[in-house]
Amino acid sequence: MPVWAVPLAAAMLIAAGGFWSWREYGRANQFRGVSVRIGVDHNPPNYDWSEQKGASGFAVDVMNEAARRAGVTLQWVYCVRGSRVALESHEIELWPTGFYRPGEYPALHQTRPWSQDQHAFVWDRERRAEVPERLEGVGVAVVNRMAPLALARQMFPGARIVPAPSRRDVLQTMCAGAADVAFMDMRTVEGMLLDRPDQCRDKVLHVKPQPELTDPTSIFAWKDQGPLADVLRDRIDDMVADGTLMRYADRWFSFSSSDVRQVLGLQEQTRQLRWLAGVCVVMGVAIGLMTWLILKLRSARAGADRARQLQAEFLANVSHEIRTPMNGVLGTADLLLETVDNAEMREQVETIRESAYGQLELLNQILDQSKIDSGLLLLETTPFSPRKLVEQVEKTFLPMARRKGVELRAVVTGEVPGLVQGDGLRIRQVLTNLVNNAIKFTKEGSVEIGLRAEGSGALVTLWFTVIDTGIGIPRELQGSIFEKFRQVDASTTRKYGGTGLGLSISRQLVRLMGGELTLESEPGQGSRFGFQVQLPVARSGAAEASVAPVKGQMLTGLVVLVVEDNVVNQKVAAGLLKRLGATVELAANGVEAVTKCREKEYDVVLMDCHMPEMDGYAATMEIRKMDGAVRHLPIVALTAGVSGEERLKAMQAGMDGFLAKPVNREELASTLAALPRRDVAAE
């Protein structure tokens, strides 16, 4: 998230709050000096009218105070025909209380509710003990106004509705016996009980409130006077907050506490709605910021993914471009070693080969470290033999150890499974690095490669150790040697060489496999490196992922098609194969390979993967589509691409094996010898 995003969001919120406050102040004072007509009829204690006093009542006091606070002058008008008729005929512009019915009166504006009317039944206890739950046939007196009549007809469909001219007449109609019960709002009932009509003075009246029949009331206005009505409604909120509304309620209602509770409830609902609106605004801004951040993160992630993809492509290209000529150098050196008898020239060729292998090792380390840093290094899971792996590492380093006069031995203990499932190539890489370092830093004595197994059943823990009697490592420097480009000190680099990447890569590879690379060492006492990996045991019939090179293996009589676009690598591959006794033909690209496979039978194809016109993957798929025995022709990738993706792509294309450049004679011979011959591959 950019540093400026938070201040910007805060500034936006402050600006929004300031704008809202300025708008509210302007809205509250926009009608100062305006005079409007507002209507009343006989509905005490809400409002009433007399020729001497004019308008009076609870609603009148509330509206007068709200108008005073808004700077508005109210002209009270007595409306004999009721609110709806008076408003629609433009006799008045406002009415203080009307039943809140949003959308029911499209020609009128209704503010938010500011009060509530709770209805009740009133009846004579001497005539009727109780009001029945169902009012079929019961006479119900109701004031002759549209809203109360509609409510009564809706709620009491089986009752006999008896309209009365005024609310006072509703109670008098019931007391006179023209109706069984009176249906009135509680405010009117409260006023009537204190000042009864003549017909009701000696009656024993019973009042039963109907909580489910509570109607919110609001200010009604013409459409064009709606904003003014809303301003008056807002001032009523101020009156609730400062207690003015409570004082008016105490003055006009005998049971004012319940009425004020209703008003306060409406006010609380209004306050909650405002808070909710504010929270929604804040959440909207937050969601907007989050959406912006998510989009930025997605864009950054897409860029990172693209960068990783480009890095993977770059690494693959670098590997391919360096390994291709390196294959020519090493292959030519191997061929020369078999033909040169002069000791001095032989030593020079071996120097060339060892230097090339050193460069190849450096390339592998740099590529591996780049893959680990970018998260592109993936582990493979194939069956391999732990015992054979240790033996192969021992055989690889025996010549180096003998030249230095160091004893190298392998010690395998415990019930080591024949095959396990894991990345044998990476385990061998770690073990190779540790053994190479051990021999390099040991002047005399021995280096021991240890393997032991723990556990039984489906999982087994393999412990690999490399113990030497070399120079040792001071305790205070043991942690730093696992860092990239670090060795014990600068003199170590000058004396023994190396990049300081090997141990760092080894530790990271072991951690990727769920283990940990450990070190115990004392200066002059030697060192003990160890790591453990837990792997599933492979079934006994599983094939090994890597074939151990077998020295002296010959390919006499094998007909091999070498598909390679690099002329030097063509010569190297042909030379190695001919020395092994094979017959070789060449193709410069995939198109030539497909044509030759149609015209002639071969025992195996060595297929380069990256070639012009048609690459090795496409060529393999074309061969697999052919009819007859040729579709089963063994095809082995011989490529400078060594990534797991390259191996997977080769298998998906239909190849039977995979050899990475540069390839040595023993590995090439063992791989090809293990493949089925032409007569076995026939359909």
pLDDT digits (tens, 9 = 90+) for 194-217: 778 888 888 888 888 887 788 888
Domain ranges, ordered by start, for the chain: 381-544, 551-683
pLDDT bin (cut points 50, 70, 90) of residue 373 is low
Please say if the pLDDT value at position 223 is more than 60.
yes
Provide the residue type at 471 as one letter: I
Q: What is the residue type of 53?
A: K
Which of 344-348, 442-446, 599-603 shows the lowest mean pLDDT across its residues? 344-348
**Binning pLDDT at 50, 70 and 90, where does residue 496 land?**
very low
In this structure, whether the domain defined by 551-683 belongs to CATH 1.20.120.530 is answered with no
Residue 294 — pLDDT band, cuts 50, 70, 90?
Answer: confident
CB of 232 within 8 A of CB of 59?
no
Residue 237's pLDDT is 87
pLDDT, average across residues 271-285: 75
Cβ pair 349, 333 in contact under 8 A: yes
Does the bond joining 157 to the residue before it have cis omega, within 30 degrees of 0?
A: no
Which pLDDT tens digit goes with each residue over 63-117? 999 999 999 999 999 998 888 889 989 999 999 998 888 888 888 999 999 888 8
The most confident of 6-20, 89-103, 271-285, by mean pLDDT: 89-103
pLDDT band at 559 (very low <50, low <70, confident <90, very high): very high
Q: Output 424 or 230, whichever has higher pLDDT.
A: 230
Topology adopted by domain 381-544: Heat Shock Protein 90 (3.30.565)
DSSP track, 370-423: HHHHHT------EEE-HHHHHHHHHHHHHHHHHHHT-EEEEEEES---S-EEE-
Residue 314 pLDDT > 80? no
Reply yes or no on whether the pLDDT at 255 is more than 70.
Answer: no
Q: Check whether 574 has a pLDDT greater than 70.
A: yes
Confidence of residue 545 (pLDDT cuts 50, 70, 90): very low
Pair 563, 608: CB distance under 8 Å: yes
Mean residue pLDDT across the chain: 81
The tens digit of pLDDT for each residue in 425-441 reads: 888 888 988 998 899 88
Question: Is residue 306 very low, low, confident or very high in pLDDT (cuts 50, 70, 90)?
Answer: confident
Closest to 449 measured CA to CA, from 413, 497, 482, 409: 409
